């Protein structure tokens, strides 16, 4: 049987673009890719990249304050959102062009349109045309979930924040995951009055308990009006914003409301179930360790599979798929010991097991410290950094590392290499400290603060 293409990729985000480029550019496959929106997907257009640029922009408020303590005569005139947004838009345009150029160089044919699956080897484009392929890769990612009550009241999602014409004076952020917490800190840093509701007991569910508490405390100290165990009951548009009635009995008005209560996989109307592809409860594509679906010619990678929803993981999965199917190099994407960062202020870097998870698996020792970093202590600022190692009492291996500190994302990337290599607590101890830096605390933690 002959096909138009060896591979048709649906979705031009982190996973799809990597898979297409490796399959075509390195393994010589004839590849097409359909993207219905902007090339680059969530990470480049409405996720990691614009968010991190906003983190940088918002962190200057703190830096100006510190600069004065270090002898600089600085009086900032204020933050100009429009000026920043203009530069942000230009940067995203540049990145989008770079993604397109990469696909072009690899010889991938791009269809700027929505695509759906017609059968195991056929893709239907928005204009009704069909294209056949030996393999189809679903890399359609995810989107923010907006409950009915929120969409009826005109609430925003993370997608909308990057497109605001002006910053609101006050915002309510609903949600306690990493995206909600990051935007709470970003907007707070930009001078917006931020209230945050999270219906659970503590923000950042799934992360290390102590780190979660530490970050929540800092967010409150920084001026964020954070309420946990609190949700929205009613919302209505009123002059000047949205009136919100909360489960804590309070009624408040916020100029904008942002919902960041979760994301759902983009599988609606894709035609997958009719083809025999299995979907999970959230609508995620169910795949095996090779990212293969129940239909042998159809694979899926990235957020649409709802495994570990991070850009580097989607990229790994896309690359592993291309090597396996087109490079005769069977490769599974490894989902263990994935390091990650949460760009709250202060930042959080984490890898491996939380104390709570490790405790369930066997005896552990916990080494932890909290201290005022030299830079902020000198400036008279109250921030404390936290560093924590979770160690197996039996094997002495470091099972988890959790850092809340400026630049924690940078630190955790390096700690993750040692931990992946099976470093023991004694390996950390025998490593000479770099002085004076914050991370030296990681190799000078002498006594466990807890065992269990």
Ligand X SMILES: Cc1cc2nc3c(=O)[nH]c(=O)nc-3n(C[C@H](O)[C@H](O)[C@H](O)COP(=O)(O)OP(=O)(O)OC[C@H]3O[C@@H](n4cnc5c(N)ncnc54)[C@H](O)[C@@H]3O)c2cc1C
**Does 13 sit near ligand X (CB under 6 A)?**
yes
CB nearer ligand X, residue 333 or residue 445: 333
Over the window 227 to 256, marking each residue x when it contacts ligand X by CB under 6 A and - when it does not, the resulting string is ------------------------------
The token pair at 193 is 């009055």
Question: With CB under 6 A as the contact rule, which of the stretches 13-21, 128-136, 208-216, 226-234 interacts with ligand X?
Answer: 13-21
Helix (H) or strand (E) holding 411: helix 408-420
Find the DSSP H helices in 127-271.
148-152, 158-161, 178-189, 209-221
Q: Which two tokens stand for residue 182?
A: 């990051």
Would you state the structure tokens that stand for residue 57, as one six-digit string?
A: 């922009």
Measured N-to-C along each axis, helices 178-189 and 209-221 cross at an angle, to the nearest 10 degrees, of 20
From the list 310, 412, 423, 439, which residue makes contact with ligand X (rule: CB under 6 A)?
310
Stretch that binds ligand X, among 43-51, 234-242, 271-279, 438-446 (CB under 6 A): 43-51
According to DSSP, residue 292 is labeled: B
- Spatial neighbors of 138 by CB under 8 A, at least 6 apart, are 10, 11, 117, 267, 270, 272, 277, 285, 293, 298, 299, 300, 301, 304
Between 311-326 and 14-21, two packed helices, what is the crossing angle to 10 degrees? 30
Q: What mask, x for binding ligand X by CB under 6 A, covers residues 313 to 352?
A: -x--------------------------------------
**The dihedral sign for the CA sequence 414, 415, 421, 424:** positive
> Measured over all CA atoms, what is the biggest interatomic distance in the chain, rounded to whole angstroms?
74
Nearer to ligand X among residue 15 and residue 423 (C-beta): 15
Residue whose CB is less far from ligand X, 132 or 431:
132
Q: Does 34 bind ligand X (CB under 6 A)?
A: yes
Q: Which of 385, 184, 167 is nearest to 255 (CA)?
A: 167
Task: Name the burial class of residue 288, with classes exposed (0-12), middle (13-18) and buried (19+) by CB atoms within 10 angstroms of its CB.
Answer: exposed
Taking the complex as a whole, how short is the minimal distance between the CB of residue 452 and ligand X, in angstroms? 32
Q: Does the footprint of ligand X cover residue 48 (CB under 6 A)?
A: yes
Rounded to the nearest 10 degrees, the angle between the axes of helix 48-69 and helix 81-106 is 140
Minimum CB separation from ligand X for residue 15, in Å?
3
Between residues 216 and 304, which has the closer beta carbon with respect to ligand X? 304
Near ligand X by CB under 6 A: residue from 16, 176, 339, 373: 16
Tell me: cis bond preceding 161? Omega within 30 of 0 counts. Answer: no
| Residues 98-157 interacting with ligand X (rule: CB under 6 A) | 114-116, 139-142
For ligand X, which residue of 5, 6, 22, 42 counts as binding (CB under 6 A)? 42
Query: Does residue 20 belong to the site contacting ligand X (CB under 6 A)?
Result: no
Question: Out of 218, 250, 335, 435, which one is annotated catalytic?
Answer: 435
Size of the site for ligand X (CB under 6 A): 36
Q: If binding is defined by CB under 6 A, does position 37 make contact with ligand X?
A: yes
Does residue 91 bind ligand X (CB under 6 A)? no
Least spacing, CB of residue 119 vs ligand X, in Å: 16
Beta-carbon-side half-sphere exposure of residue 156 (alpha carbons within 13 Å): 21
Tell me if 392 contacts ligand X by CB under 6 A: no
Report the interhelical angle of 48-69 vs 178-189 (nearest 10°): 40
| Token pair belonging to 101 | 């150029």
Active site residue 435: yes
Q: Is 11 in the site for ligand X (CB under 6 A)?
A: yes
Judged by CB under 6 A, the residue of 4, 26, 36, 91 near ligand X is: 36
Q: Is 347 exposed, middle or buried (0-12, 13-18, 19+ CB in 10 A)?
A: buried
**CA distances to 152, 246, 359, 392, 416 from 448, in Å:** 52, 42, 14, 12, 21
Is 176 near ligand X (CB under 6 A)?
no
Burial (0-12, 13-18, 19+ Cβ within 10 Å), 105? exposed
Nearer to ligand X among residue 47 and residue 241 (C-beta): 47
In the set 65, 312, 375, 379, which binds ligand X (CB under 6 A)? 312
For ligand X, the binding residue among 62, 303, 306, 441 (CB under 6 A) is: 303
Choices 44-52, 83-91, 235-243, 278-286; region in contact with ligand X by CB under 6 A:
44-52
Site for ligand X contains 58 (CB under 6 A): no
* Binding of ligand X by 15 (CB under 6 A): yes
- CA nearest to 252, candidates 197, 316, 204, 214: 197
Catalytic residues: 435
Q: Where along the sequence are the contacts to ligand X (CB under 6 A)? A: 10-16, 34-37, 41-43, 47-48, 51, 114-116, 139-142, 158, 179, 266, 270, 302-304, 309-312, 314
């Amino acid at each position: 049987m002959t096909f138009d293409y060896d591979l048709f990729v649906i979705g031009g985000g982190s996973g799809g673009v990597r898979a297409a480029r490796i399959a075509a550019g390195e393994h010589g496959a004839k590849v097409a890719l359909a993207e219905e929106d902007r090339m680059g997907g969530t990470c480049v257009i409405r996720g990691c990249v614009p968010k991190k640029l906003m983190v940088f922009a918002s962190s200057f408020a703190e830096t100006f304050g510190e600069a004065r303590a270090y002898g600089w005569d600085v009086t900032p005139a204020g933050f100009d959102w429009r000026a920043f947004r203009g530069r942000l838009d230009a940067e995203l345009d540049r990145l989008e062009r770079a993604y397109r150029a990469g696909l072009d160089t690899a010889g991938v044919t791009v269809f700027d349109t929505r695509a759906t699956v017609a059968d195991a080897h056929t893709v239907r484009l928005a204009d009704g045309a069909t294209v056949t392929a030996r393999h189809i890769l679903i890399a359609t990612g995810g989107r923010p979930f907006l409950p009915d009550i929120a969409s009826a009241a005109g609430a925003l999602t993370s997608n909308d924040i990057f497109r605001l014409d002006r910053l609101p004076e006050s915002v309510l952020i609903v949600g306690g995951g990493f995206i909600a917490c990051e935007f709470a800190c970003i907007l707070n840093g930009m001078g917006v009055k931020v209230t945050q509701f999270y219906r659970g007991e503590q923000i950042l569910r799934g992360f290390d308990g102590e780190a979660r508490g530490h970050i929540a405390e800092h967010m409150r100290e920084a001026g964020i009006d954070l309420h946990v165990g609190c949700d929205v009951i009613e919302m209505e548009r009123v002059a000047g914003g949205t009136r919100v009635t909360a489960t804590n009995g309070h009624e408040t008005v916020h100029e904008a409301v942002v919902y960041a209560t979760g994301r759902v996989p983009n599988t609606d109307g894709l035609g997958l179930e009719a083809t025999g592809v299995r979907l999970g409860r959230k609508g995620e594509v169910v795949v095996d360790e090779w990212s293969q679906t129940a239909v042998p010619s159809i694979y899926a990678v990235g957020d649409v599979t709802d495994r570990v929803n991070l850009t580097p993981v989607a990229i790994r999965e896309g690359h592993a798929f291309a090597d396996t199917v087109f490079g005769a190099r069977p490769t599974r994407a490894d989902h263990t010991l994935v390091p990650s960062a949460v760009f709250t202020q202060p930042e959080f870097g984490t890898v491996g097991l939380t104390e709570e998870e490790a405790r369930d698996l066997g005896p552990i020792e916990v080494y932890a410290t909290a201290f005022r970093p030299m830079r902020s202590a000198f400036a008279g600022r109250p921030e404390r950094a936290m560093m924590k190692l979770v160690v197996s009492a039996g094997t002495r291996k470091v099972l988890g590392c959790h850092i809340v500190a400026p630049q924690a994302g940078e630190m955790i990337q390096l700690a993750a290499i040692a931990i992946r290599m099976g470093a023991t607590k004694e390996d950390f101890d025998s490593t000479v400290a770099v002085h004076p830096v914050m991370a030296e605390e990681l190799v000078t933690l002498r006594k466990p603060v807890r065992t269990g």
